[in-house]
Amino acid sequence: MIKDITLGQYFPGDSLIHRADPRVKIILTLVIMTNIFLIDSYLAFAVFAGFIAMAVFIGKIPFAYTLKGLKPIMPIIVFTALVNIFTNPGILLAGYGPVRITYEGIDTAAKMSLRLVLLIMSSSIMTLTTTPISLTDGLERILSPLKHLKVPVHEFSMMMTVALRFIPTLLEETDKIMKAQASRGADFETGNMFERAKSFIPVLIPLFVSAFRRADDLALAMEHAAIEVEREEQG
């Protein structure tokens, strides 16, 4: 499931969306995500779903690859849907004791699930079709007016992009650690929720150590690069 997360990964290509200005993609993605929170009709959800499907087609991204990114959040979607189904008051459809299923509950659960799916897919399309360098450049240009307010725009853009780019790296590292622990007898699949959560403790400690080591190496590399650029400018 870890390797199924597509957010933060880049899918190489030469499509119209790949070549589009990163500023346009960032702004358009933010507009789409904002409107997904605001819409409340199934027709509007269908329109946005069609728009996202068209973007996937134009971007020449395998549709199955895009849908794969939904697999890790399916437990969240199911949990959210169940909470809404059983906790929303309204017209009673079925019930047994304290358990009540209402029309409003099912309606709210369906819309919340659609929102989560569309949000993940729309954000994934942006990262799948934009290189980290282009994403940093686009974000920095969008926020460039804030430079007049002494906001460190370049540093902020770099931080956001590095954090986003580190998602697949950390996921890959997590997968390696889990396989190493499984070869030593660790079991991540059986047991109840608390037992499975406890079994992840041996994974978290080496993962944090590896993350801090990578962050330290990256900081040193960026510092040396900045020094070299400064020397070239002075020379």
Q: How does pLDDT run across 137-150, given as a tens digit for each residue?
A: 888 888 888 888 88
Question: Alpha helices of the chain — where are they, by DSSP H?
Answer: 16-19, 22-38, 42-58, 63-68, 74-87, 103-128, 132-142, 153-183, 193-199, 201-234
- Residues 186-200: what's their mean pLDDT? 68
- Residues 25-29: what's their mean pLDDT? 91
Distance from C-alpha of 17 to C-alpha of 13, rounded to nearest angstrom: 9
Record the tokens describing residue 67, joined without a space: 């849908």
Distance from C-alpha of 169 to C-alpha of 165, rounded to nearest angstrom: 7
Q: Could you tell me the CA-to-CA distances from 144 to 24, 50, 122, 131, 158 in Å, in that order? A: 15, 33, 25, 20, 13
pLDDT of residue 7: 61
With bands split at pLDDT 50, 70 and 90, how would you rate the model's confidence at 111? very high
Q: Could you tell me the CA-to-CA distances from 80 to 59, 106, 109, 136, 171 in Å, in that order? A: 31, 11, 7, 33, 24
With bands split at pLDDT 50, 70 and 90, how would you rate the model's confidence at 194? low
Among 5-14, 109-118, 208-217, top mean pLDDT goes to: 109-118
- Residues 98-104: what's their mean pLDDT? 81
Which range (6-10, 29-33, 105-109, 212-216) has the least confidence?
Answer: 6-10
pLDDT of residue 47: 94
Task: Please tell me which residue, 46 or 213, carries the higher pLDDT value.
Answer: 46
Record the tokens describing residue 46, joined without a space: 């269908």
Task: Please tell me which residue, 70 or 109, carries the higher pLDDT value.
Answer: 109
Among 42-46, 91-95, 227-231, top mean pLDDT goes to: 42-46
- Residues 9-25: what's their mean pLDDT? 87
Angle between helical axes of 22-38 and 132-142 (0-180°, round to 10): 80
Which range (42-51, 83-92, 189-198) has the least confidence?
Answer: 189-198
Q: Whole-model pTM above 0.85?
A: no
